[in-house]
Amino acid sequence: MLRILIVTLFFVFNASLRQATTAAGTVLNAASLGAEPAASTQIAPGSIAAFRGTALALRTETATVTDGSPPFTVAGTSVKVNGVQARVFYVSPEEVRFVVPDDLAVGKAEVAVINAEGVESKAEVMIVPAAPGVFTIDGDGRGEGIILDQDTLLRGPFDPTNGEKRLSIFVTGARHAKNVSVTIKGNKISVERVAPGNLAGIDEIHVLLPPILSGFGAATLSVEADGVQSNPVSVLIGGTPPASHEKIVINQVFGGGGNSGAPFRNDFIEIFNAGNTAVNLSGWSVQYASATATTWSLTPLTAVVLSPGQYYLVQQAGGNNGATLPTPDATGAIAMAAGSGKVALVKNTTALTGACPNDPNIVDVVGYGSTATCFRGSGPAPGASNTNAAARKTNGCTDTQNNASDFSLATPNPKNINAPLNPCTIAESVLPSFADAFAKRRNYYLAPTLRPRRFP
């Protein structure tokens, strides 16, 4: 009887040992650490992730990094994602930070952490092509982001007054994204480049700060990559707010929507804020009349506050040919002529009258085609067609009050309020090169993000 009891206890003891060698854990984006708006964590191939649990390592240790890539094992602890070995930056009994293997397939994945004694912890996580997280100074996914001036290599405040202030935003999970945008205090900023950093899993997003942000102070910054939002972080914008200058213009007119050969199935009118002051379009309208007509049809605009450099799309009538327009910001049913006509932007919703009305509420007028009887300047804009739009030059920034010289024919390119901003005071230039000193400095700033300690 005693022999049977001993054997039974032996099997029970071994079964409990086997059960104890596998524990559950949690996987997070190592930059955002759960501060991103998504309800459940997503991580991207080539990004840095954090695994949290118990008994993950026998001691706390930070990897020695050679040529930007950490080793596969630190303090005897290793990580596998769907059976693929991952490089490890940092281990402790409660947390491991690792690089997600770059060639993982999209979908659910199992992450396994094995410590030096063979104790294994597992967790499931969703792999997606892009899942941005912005690194922060305190390393907790909140507060001030790790953002450097590309020239001085210093933290903020950043003064964009001269239009030449370029920043590097340090993130993870963005390198494989097809579309990356940056938003600062509600303003979308065009991204110049997304580049892998000198450390495995680190990405740098390079942006040029528009002068319209001068004097904003503490502002919220976030990154969007292929529709996935990062954690919001703060950035300090210095400088003096620019003098107020309101200028809303008609940027594109396309009346060939739905016709034979048309690239889009609807006519459209595109509005653009070419000034440096946000303008509320509530109560405004766009109005259309045929080339020689004296009666005008109108479409009310929606209550949108249009930021400097922001576009606004008004969809009109259409046909069966061509692609669907991007989501319009306002919708009307005006059938516009493809080759010639008159379009006015008005500060109210009272229909204009006359072939070329002189109303103080008219903000802008564009006549297109040689027969148009109302225009600004020496003559109308060129006549459009089923395949061409009358488009303001430099994406909306050219305005000499002369339709004939301010517009040219171009392939229709409809843009709504979600399109990247195009502040008119910004000039394109070549990105500066990075010196070795920059690489060393940025690695200094990033080091605390690879282990759960506060910025020194």
Three state DSSP letters for 304-330: CEECCCCEEEEEEEECCECECCCCCCE
- Scan for tokens 């069966």, then name that residue: 320
Asked if residue 205 and residue 117 are part of one domain, the reply reads no
Q: In terms of DSSP bridges, do strands 311-318 and 330-331 run parallel, antiparallel, or are they unpaired?
A: parallel
The answer to the question of residue 453 being in a domain is no
Asked if residue 172 and residue 279 are part of one domain, the reply reads no
DSSP reduced 3-state for 375: coil
CATH number at residue 238: 2.60.40.10
Asked which of 199, 224, 242 is the last residue of a domain, the reply is 242
Asked if residue 146 and residue 80 are part of one domain, the reply reads no
One-letter identity of residue 56? L
pLDDT for residue 455:
31
Q: Under 8 Å CB-to-CB from 440, ≥6 apart: which residues?
A: none
Asked if residue 138 and residue 126 are part of one domain, the reply reads no
The answer to the question of residue 418 being in a domain is no
The answer to the question of residue 12 being in a domain is no
Asked if residue 256 and residue 186 are part of one domain, the reply reads no
Asked if residue 125 and residue 57 are part of one domain, the reply reads yes
Q: Where do the H-state alpha helices sit in 21-64?
A: none
The answer to the question of residue 448 being in a domain is no
Smallest Cα–Cα separation from 51: which of 104, 105, 88, 106?
88
Smallest Cα–Cα separation from 223: which of 283, 175, 276, 286?
175
Main-chain dihedrals φ then ψ at residue 167, nearest 5 degrees: -120, 150
Cα–Cα dist 69/194, whole Å: 19
pLDDT for residue 244:
66
Structure tokens at 273: 């804020």
Asked if residue 263 and residue 375 are part of one domain, the reply reads yes
> Can you give the pTM of this predicted structure?
0.60
Asked which of 201, 218, 242 is the last residue of a domain, the reply is 242
CA-to-CA dists, residue 405 to 87, 227, 380, 394, angstroms: 58, 38, 9, 12
The answer to the question of residue 63 being in a domain is yes
| Burial environment of residue 319 by CB neighbours within 10 A (0 to 12, 13 to 18, 19 or more) | middle
- The boundaries of the domain holding residue 28 are 21-130
Main-chain dihedrals φ then ψ at residue 58, nearest 5 degrees: -85, -20
Structure tokens at 360: 């103080």
First-last CA distance in the chain? 65
Asked if residue 148 and residue 122 are part of one domain, the reply reads no
Q: What is the DSSP string of 258-272?
A: BSTT-SBSEEEEEEE
Asked if residue 396 and residue 252 are part of one domain, the reply reads yes
pLDDT for residue 344:
98
Asked which of 242, 267, 299 is the last residue of a domain, the reply is 242
The answer to the question of residue 434 being in a domain is no
Provide the residue-wise pLDDT of the chain in tens; the chain has 456 residues. 434 333 333 333 343 334 445 788 999 999 999 999 988 889 999 999 999 999 999 999 999 998 889 999 999 999 999 999 999 999 999 999 999 999 999 999 999 999 999 999 999 999 999 999 999 999 999 999 999 999 998 999 999 988 889 999 999 999 999 999 999 987 788 789 998 888 899 999 999 998 878 888 899 999 999 999 999 999 999 988 766 678 999 999 999 999 999 999 999 999 999 998 889 999 999 999 999 999 999 999 999 999 999 999 999 999 999 999 999 999 999 999 999 999 999 999 999 999 999 999 999 999 999 999 999 999 999 999 999 999 999 999 999 899 999 999 999 999 999 999 898 853 332 222 223 333 444 454 455 555 554 333
Cα–Cα dist 386/356, whole Å: 25
- Structural domains of the chain, count: 3
| Burial environment of residue 60 by CB neighbours within 10 A (0 to 12, 13 to 18, 19 or more) | middle
pLDDT for residue 11:
34
Structure tokens at 99: 């690089």
The answer to the question of residue 291 being in a domain is yes
Peptide bond before residue 157 is cis, with ω within 30 degrees of 0: yes
Pair 74, 204: CB distance under 8 Å: no
Give the gyration radius of the chain's Cα atoms.
29
The answer to the question of residue 426 being in a domain is no
Where is 12: in which H helix or E strand? helix 2-20
CATH number at residue 266: 2.60.40
Asked if residue 252 and residue 392 are part of one domain, the reply reads yes
Asked if residue 367 and residue 339 are part of one domain, the reply reads yes
CA-to-CA dists, residue 2 to 11, 130, 272, 318, 334, angstroms: 14, 61, 90, 90, 95
Pair 145, 134: CB distance under 8 Å: yes
Cα–Cα dist 224/132, whole Å: 7
The sheet that has 266-273: what strands, in order across it? 330-331, 311-318, 266-273, 248-254, 389-392, 407-410
Asked if residue 169 and residue 39 are part of one domain, the reply reads no
